[in-house]
C-alpha cells in the first residue's frame, strides 16, 4: 500500500540537456558546448563531417548527429581543426617553410614544421598563434573532401613535399584538402565546409623537435604542441566534462562500491570479483542466460583447456599464438582456451544434421584467457581472463538474412533491458578489388553482404559501411555504444564465417540427400561481462538500475541500541532475501552515518525502520531512481514511501520484471 508521505525530488546529476540554436543559427549545447561538426551519412555508407559555420542554420533535428566540443569525437575534430589553423598560420608568417602535418594526442594537436634550421623565437610563435586565431574566425578556412589523387596533385603544385609524402602513404582513398589564403594542407578526417568560430582560444602548450620519419633521415622538424577551445564558455564546460570523466571512472567507482580488485600475487588482468561485484555479475549472467534460452539458443558448456591440435585445425595456432597461454604435459602441448568456437564446433560435429534442423544455436557464457601486454591492461576493460556471452549459429546460406534480423531484435531487447539506448551499427564489407585478402567465392560474399545489409535495412537501422574492414573470413556488423560523455564502447559483434566451416568440414544433408557446406555466425552481444560491467558503471556513474544493483535494498533500524528495532530490521532483511532480493542490513553506528554509507554504495532502496514501523509491521523507504535520457545524462527521482514488507517485495519484483520484460526474476 502506498504510504502517506510522498516527496518528489528531482535532482539533475551532472549536466543538463538543452540544446539551442542562437540567433546566428549556431548550435550550442548547454552541457556539451559549441557544435563542431555534423555527421552526414552518404549514399555509399561513408561518413562526412560537415564543419559548423555561422552561415548555415542547424536545427534541433541535427542533435544526435552533431559533434559537440565537449564530447570525445567533437573534441578530437576540434583539435584537428586547431592544428590545421596553426599549420596554415605558420605558412602565413614564414612563406618559405615546409608544412609537415598535424597529429593528435589525447589533449593536444602537434603541428610539425620544417624551418630549414631557422629557430622559431617567442615573438614569432606568438604571431603564429595570433594568426591562427584569425584563420579560425575568418570564415575563410575551407575543407573539401577529394580523391587522394587530387589532393596529392594540389600538394605537389604548391610544393608541400612533406605533406605530399605523408598523404601518399595514407591508407585511404579520400582526403580532405584544407585551404586558407592560397596555402594548402590536408587531413584524413572527412571534413567538409567552411570553419568559423568567432572567439576561439588557442594556446601554445610547448615546443619540441622531432625527427622526420625516424632518425635515419637526419631531418629535424619543429613541433608546436597546441590546445584550444571554440570559446571561453567551451573551456569552462570542458573542465566540467573532465571532472565528469573522473567521477565516472569505473576503477574508482569499483573501490567505493567494492566490486572487484586485482592482486599482484594472482596476476595482472585477472579479476577477483568481491561479493558485491559477483552479485551484480550474477544478475547479468542470469538475465543473459534466460533471454537466450527464450530466443531458441541451446546451452553448452566446454572445458577451459584443450590440446594444441584443436587450435591447429582452427588456425589459431598459426595466427594467434602470441595471445595464447600454453603449457606442456606428458610431452603434449595444451592451450588455455582463447576462444570458444572450436569447442562449439566439436559439439556440433557429434552427429549429422539435416537441412530442416538448421539453424543450430549454441550458447555459452564462455570464459577465455588471452595474453594482453602488461602496459595495455586497464580496470575491467582490458583484462587477461574474461567471460563472453558467446554463441555460434550454424545455418544454411539461405537462412542468413532471417537469422541476422532475429539477432538485431535480440540486440535491441538486451540493450534496452540495461537501459542502453544510444548505439550505432557498422557494417564491415570486403574490398571487392582485393581478392587475395578475403577468402570465399564472389557469390558467397555478395550473398552474405547483401543479407547483412538487407536485415539492417528491414529493421530500419541506420548504419555506416567500412569497405575493406571485413575479417578475411567474412563480413560483420559491429555495435558501438555511446555513453553519457560521447565516448564509444565497442560491445556487440555479429560475424559471418566461411572459413571455419571449411577447416572443420561442417556439412548438412540437403533435400536431395547431398552434403552441403554450412555457414557459421559468431556473435556476442554484451561482449565480455568484465568490459560490460565497466561500461555499466561508467554509463550510470555507479547508479545502475535496480535489477542490476549489487545490493537492492538496505534495511536500517533507526536506533542501533534498540534490540526490538535491530531484530525487526534483520527479520525484514531475511524475508526479502528469501524472495531472492539482494539485501543488506546495517545495524551499527549513527543513522546518518549508515545512510551516507548506503548512498556511497549507490543502493537504490533505503528502508528505515523505527518503533512505529515495528509496531505496524511496515517499512519506510527512500527509492532513488535514475533515468537516462537520450544523450545519457541522468535525472534522479527520489521518492519516500511507507509500505508493508510484502508491499516492498512486490514493488522490487515488479520493477525487475518490467525492466527485463519478464525475463527476471
Q: Answer yes or no whether residue 556 interacts with Zn ion by CB under 5 A.
A: no
Contact 664, 43 (CB under 8 A): no
Quick one: 522 or 594, whose CB is closer to Zn ion?
522
For residue 460, give every residue at least 6 positions away whose Cβ sits within 8 Å of its Cβ, in sequence order, or none: none
Q: How many positions of this chain bind Zn ion (CB under 5 A)?
A: 2
Pairing type for strands 8-13 and 19-21 reads unpaired
Pairing type for strands 423-429 and 463-467 reads parallel
Quick one: 490 or 629, whose CB is closer to Zn ion?
490
Q: Answer yes or no whether residue 496 interacts with Zn ion by CB under 5 A.
A: no
**Smallest gap, in angstroms, from Cβ of residue 299 to Zn ion?**
16
User: CB under 5 A: which stretch of 141-149, 520-528, 551-559, 594-602 binds Zn ion?
Assistant: 520-528
Is residue 142 part of an annotated ligand binding site? no
Q: Answer yes or no whether residue 386 interacts with Zn ion by CB under 5 A.
A: no
Is residue 126 part of an annotated ligand binding site? no
Q: Answer yes or no whether residue 365 interacts with Zn ion by CB under 5 A.
A: no
Q: Answer yes or no whether residue 39 interacts with Zn ion by CB under 5 A.
A: no
Give the residue among 119, 91, 113, 128 at the shortest CA–CA distance from 219: 113
Quick one: 176 or 495, whose CB is closer to Zn ion?
495
Q: Answer yes or no whether residue 531 interacts with Zn ion by CB under 5 A.
A: no
**Smallest gap, in angstroms, from Cβ of residue 392 to Zn ion?**
6
Distance separating alpha carbons of residues 265 and 663, to the nearest angstrom: 39
**Smallest gap, in angstroms, from Cβ of residue 209 to Zn ion?**
48
User: Which residue stretches of 211-274 are H helix?
Assistant: 232-248, 250-257
User: CB under 5 A: which stretch of 146-154, 518-526, 547-555, 574-582 binds Zn ion?
Assistant: 518-526
User: CB under 5 A: which stretch of 366-374, 477-485, 515-523, 524-532 binds Zn ion?
Assistant: 515-523
Quick one: 35 or 341, whose CB is closer to Zn ion?
341
**Smallest gap, in angstroms, from Cβ of residue 450 to Zn ion?**
23
Q: Answer yes or no whether residue 481 interacts with Zn ion by CB under 5 A.
A: no
Q: Answer yes or no whether residue 522 interacts with Zn ion by CB under 5 A.
A: yes
Distance separating alpha carbons of residues 602 and 8, to the nearest angstrom: 19
Quick one: 151 or 341, whose CB is closer to Zn ion?
341
Contact 145, 136 (CB under 8 A): no
User: CB under 5 A: which stretch of 64-72, 91-99, 372-380, 517-525 binds Zn ion?
Assistant: 517-525
Quick one: 37 or 358, whose CB is closer to Zn ion?
358
Residues across the chain: 665
**Smallest gap, in angstroms, from Cβ of residue 258 to Zn ion?**
33
Count of CB atoms within 10 A of residue 116's CB?
9
Distance separating alpha carbons of residues 249 and 379, to the nearest angstrom: 9
Distance separating alpha carbons of residues 299 and 544, to the nearest angstrom: 28
Give residues 64-123 in contact with Zn ion (rule: CB under 5 A).
none
Give the residue among 582, 600, 482 at the shortest CA–CA distance from 74: 482
- Rounded to whole angstroms, what are the CA distances from 381 to 284, 495, 529, 535? 16, 22, 10, 8
Quick one: 522 or 582, whose CB is closer to Zn ion?
522
**Smallest gap, in angstroms, from Cβ of residue 340 to Zn ion?**
6
Distance separating alpha carbons of residues 468 and 429, to the nearest angstrom: 6
**Smallest gap, in angstroms, from Cβ of residue 398 to Zn ion?**
22
Distance separating alpha carbons of residues 124 and 640, to the nearest angstrom: 64
Is residue 491 part of an annotated ligand binding site? no
Number of alpha carbons in the 13 Å side-chain half-sphere of residue 253? 25
Give the residue among 138, 136, 126, 304 at the shortest CA–CA distance from 207: 126
**Smallest gap, in angstroms, from Cβ of residue 521 to Zn ion?**
9
User: CB under 5 A: which stretch of 21-29, 505-513, 519-527, 588-596 binds Zn ion?
Assistant: 519-527
DSSP assignment string, 559-576: -TT-HHHHHHHHHHHHHH
Quick one: 110 or 522, whose CB is closer to Zn ion?
522
- Rounded to whole angstroms, what are the CA distances from 150 to 154, 156, 186, 582? 6, 10, 11, 64
Three-state helix/strand/coil letters over 493-512: EEEEECHHHHHCCCEEECCC
Could you give the residue numbers annotated as active site?
A: 341, 370, 388, 390, 392, 476, 522
Give residues 390-449 in contact with Zn ion (rule: CB under 5 A).
none
Distance separating alpha carbons of residues 261 and 300, to the nearest angstrom: 29
Pairing type for strands 191-195 and 47-51 reads parallel
Give residues 321-360 in contact with Zn ion (rule: CB under 5 A).
341
Residues that bind Zn ion (CB under 5 A): 341, 522
Annotated binding site for Zn(2+): 341, 392, 522
Annotated binding site: 341, 392, 522
Amino acid at each position: 500500500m502506498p504510504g502517506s508521505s510522498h516527496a518528489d525530488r528531482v535532482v539533475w546529476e551532472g549536466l543538463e540537456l538543452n540544446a539551442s540554436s542562437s540567433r546566428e543559427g549556431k548550435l550550442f549545447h548547454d552541457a556539451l558546448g559549441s557544435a563542431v561538426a555534423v555527421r552526414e551519412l552518404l549514399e555509399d555508407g561513408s561518413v562526412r563531417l560537415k564543419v559548423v559555420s555561422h552561415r548555415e542554420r542547424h536545427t534541433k533535428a541535427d542533435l544526435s548527429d552533431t559533434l559537440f566540443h565537449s564530447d570525445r569525437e567533437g573534441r578530437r575534430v576540434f583539435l584537428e581543426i586547431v592544428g590545421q589553423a596553426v599549420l596554415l598560420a605558420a605558412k602565413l608568417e614564414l612563406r618559405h617553410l615546409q608544412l609537415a602535418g598535424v597529429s593528435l594526442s589525447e589533449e593536444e594537436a602537434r603541428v610539425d614544421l620544417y624551418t630549414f634550421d631557422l629557430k622559431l623565437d617567442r615573438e614569432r610563435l606568438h604571431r603564429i598563434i595570433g594568426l591562427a586565431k584569425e584563420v579560425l574566425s575568418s570564415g575563410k578556412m575551407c575543407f573539401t573532401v577529394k580523391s587522394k589523387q587530387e589532393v596529392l596533385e594540389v600538394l605537389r603544385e604548391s610544393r608541400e613535399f612533406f605533406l605530399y609524402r605523408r598523404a601518399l602513404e595514407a591508407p585511404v582513398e579520400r582526403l580532405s584538402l584544407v585551404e586558407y589564403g592560397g596555402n594548402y594542407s590536408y587531413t584524413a578526417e572527412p571534413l567538409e565546409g567552411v570553419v568559423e568560430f568567432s572567439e576561439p582560444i588557442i594556446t601554445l602548450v610547448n615546443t619540441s623537435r622531432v625527427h622526420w620519419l625516424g632518425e635515419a633521415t637526419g631531418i629535424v622538424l619543429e613541433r608546436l604542441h597546441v590546445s584550444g577551445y571554440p570559446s571561453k564558455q567551451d573551456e569552462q564546460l570542458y573542465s566540467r566534462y573532465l571532472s565528469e570523466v573522473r567521477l565516472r571512472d569505473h576503477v574508482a567507482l569499483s573501490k567505493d562500491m567494492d566490486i572487484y580488485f586485482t592482486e599482484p600475487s594472482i596476476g595482472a588482468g585477472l579479476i577477483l570479483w568481491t561479493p558485491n561485484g559477483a552479485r551484480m555479475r550474477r544478475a547479468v549472467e542470469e538475465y543473459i542466460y534466460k533471454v537466450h534460452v527464450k530466443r531458441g539458443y541451446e546451452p553448452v558448456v566446454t572445458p577451459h583447456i584443450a590440446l594444441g591440435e584443436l587450435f591447429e585445425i582452427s588456425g589459431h595456432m598459426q595466427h594467434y599464438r602470441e595471445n595464447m597461454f600454453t603449457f606442456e604435459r606428458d610431452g603434449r602441448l595444451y592451450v588455455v582456451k582463447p576462444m570458444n568456437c572450436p569447442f562449439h564446433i566439436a559439439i556440433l560435429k557429434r552427429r549429422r544434421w539435416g537441412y530442416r534442423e538448421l539453424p543450430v544455436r549454441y550458447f555459452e557464457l564462455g570464459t577465455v584467457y588471452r595474453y594482453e601486454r602488461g602496459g595495455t591492461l586497464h580496470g575491467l576493460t582490458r583484462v587477461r581472463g574474461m567471460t563472453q556471452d558467446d554463441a555460434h549459429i550454424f545455418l544454411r546460406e539461405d537462412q542468413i538474412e532471417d537469422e541476422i534480423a532475429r539477432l538485431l531484435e535480440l540486440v535491441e531487447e538486451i540493450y534496452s533491458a540495461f537501459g542502453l539506448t544510444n548505439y550505432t551499427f557498422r557494417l564491415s564489407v570486403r574490398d571487392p578489388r582485393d581478392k587475395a585478402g578475403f577468402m570465399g567465392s564472389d557469390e558467397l560474399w555478395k550473398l552474405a553482404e547483401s543479407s547483412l545489409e538487407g536485415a539492417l535495412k528491414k529493421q530500419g537501422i541506420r548504419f555506416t559501411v567500412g569497405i575493406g574492414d571485413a575479417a578475411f573470413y567474412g563480413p560483420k556488423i559491429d555495435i558501438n555504444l555511446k555513453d553519457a560523455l560521447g565516448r564509444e564502447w565497442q560491445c556487440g559483434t555479429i560475424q559471418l564465417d566461411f572459413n571455419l566451416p571449411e577447416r572443420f568440414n561442417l556439412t548438412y544433408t540437403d533435400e536431395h540427400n547431398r552434403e552441403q557446406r554450412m555457414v557459421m555466425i559468431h556473435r556476442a552481444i554484451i561482449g565480455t561481462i568484465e568490459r560490460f560491467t565497466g561500461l555499466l558503471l561508467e554509463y550510470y556513474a555507479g547508479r545502475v538500475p535496480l535489477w542490476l544493483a549489487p545490493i537492492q535494498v538496505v534495511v536500517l533500524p533507526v536506533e542501533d541500541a534498540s534490540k526490538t528495532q535491530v531484530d525487526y530490521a534483520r527479520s525484514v532483511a531475511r524475508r526479502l532475501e528469501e524472495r531472492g532480493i539482494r539485501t543488506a542490513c546495517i545495524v551499527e553506528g549513527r543513522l546518518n552515518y549508515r545512510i551516507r554509507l548506503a548512498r556511497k554504495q549507490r543502493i537504490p532502496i533505503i528502508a528505515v525502520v523505527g518503533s512505529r514501523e515495528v509496531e505496524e509491521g511496515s517499512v519506510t523507504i527512500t527509492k532513488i531512481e535514475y533515468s537516462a535520457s537520450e544523450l545519457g545524462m541522468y535525472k534522479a527521482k527520489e521518492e519516500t514511501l511507507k509500505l508493508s514488507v510484502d508491499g516492498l517485495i512486490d514493488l522490487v519484483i515488479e520493477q525487475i520484471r518490467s525492466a527485463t520484460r519478464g525475463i527476471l526474476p
